[in-house]
Amino acid sequence: MNRRRRIYEGKAKILYEGPEPGTLIQHFKDDATAFNAQKKDVIEGKGVLNNRISEHIFTNLNAIGVPTHFIRRLNMREQLIREVEIVPLEVIVRNVAAGSLSKRLGLEEGTQLPRSIIEFCYKNDELGDPLVAEEHITAFGWAAPQEIDDIMSLAIRVNDFLTGLFLGCGIRLVDFKIEFGRLYENDMVRIVLADEISPDSCRLWDIGSDEKLDKDRFRRDMGGLVEAYTEVARRLGIVSENEPIATRGPVLVK
Ligand code: UDP
């Protein structure tokens, strides 16, 4: 592992140089952070689950023609991806009021929104990822108007797909965050979905009980995070009912 060149280390993932030019390896760590990294912990097994859940979602998005950076999963914690230039925006799609939207507009958590809402935050940890308008994005050159259009139509397709996927297994997709990148191929540049989609970046509520099956369990000190992520993986059919998700590497048996 040490022989590979580390390109970037974020809060929950590491990017390594890939086996071929134009590829990278995305490694999922067990680190959990919230509130702009003021709250931190290591939750054993989280990275393995997010790798599998994100693989499942990105594979299906590729299959329905949503362009993504995902190529294939390599092992328990890693996936092979295409190298892209990340657009410095967090794109948040909301179906139900929760989190910062509830606070900002005084909406009770759980209120169905009149329609899906897309928000943009400028990706900048020092500033705490502030909410920005399209005006800021184009004025400061973070993305061109055509790129914003592409991002919005892809975000809506991802939302429609994920809403149905989760509804089919008894989960309400409250909101989620996605990121996009510019993929340079020959003389062309196009916007593709990047990063990850996992219970770290979505709010997922059980339809019957409203039980939270996402990172809010960590943010709100509720415990049971790995159990909740495992439940999401089971419902998506990624792991079978009794299959334990191995969280460590192989154990040497003498
Ligand atoms: N989110 C994320 N990373 C961030 C901020 C938000 O993945 O840095 C996700 C979060 O998990 C939720 C959605 O984006 O599914 C909306 O988050 P919100 O703006 O309500 O912020 P929060 O309440 O998490 O601070």
Closest residue CA from atom 2 of ligand 1: 201
Which of 222, 246, 234 has the alpha carbon at shortest distance from 41? 222
Asked whether 202 lines ligand 1 (CB < 6 A), one says yes
Alpha-carbon distance of 151 to 192, in angstroms, equals 8
pLDDT tens, position by position, 203-222: 999 999 999 999 999 999 99
Asked whether 192 lines ligand 1 (CB < 6 A), one says no
pLDDT more than 90, % of the chain:
92
Q: How far is the CA of 173 from the centre of ligand 1 (A)?
A: 13
Domains of the chain: 85-206 (3.30.470.20)
Angle at 141 between CA 137 and CA 142, to 5 degrees: 60
Site to probe by mutation for ligand 1, drawn from 120, 131, 177, 178 as the one with most ligand atoms within 8 Å of Cβ, is 177
pLDDT tens, position by position, 113-166: 999 999 999 999 999 999 999 999 999 999 999 999 999 999 999 999 999 999
Two structure tokens written together for 88:
């410095």
H-helix or E-strand spanning residue 165: helix 145-167
Average pLDDT score over residue span 236-254: 67
Alpha-carbon distance of 129 to 91, in angstroms, equals 11
Average pLDDT score over residue span 15-44: 97
Alpha-carbon distance of 109 to 124, in angstroms, equals 26
Sequence-distant (≥ 6) Cβ neighbours of residue 249 within 8 angstroms: 76
pTM exceeding the 0.75 threshold for the entire prediction: yes
Closest residue CA from atom 7 of ligand 1: 201
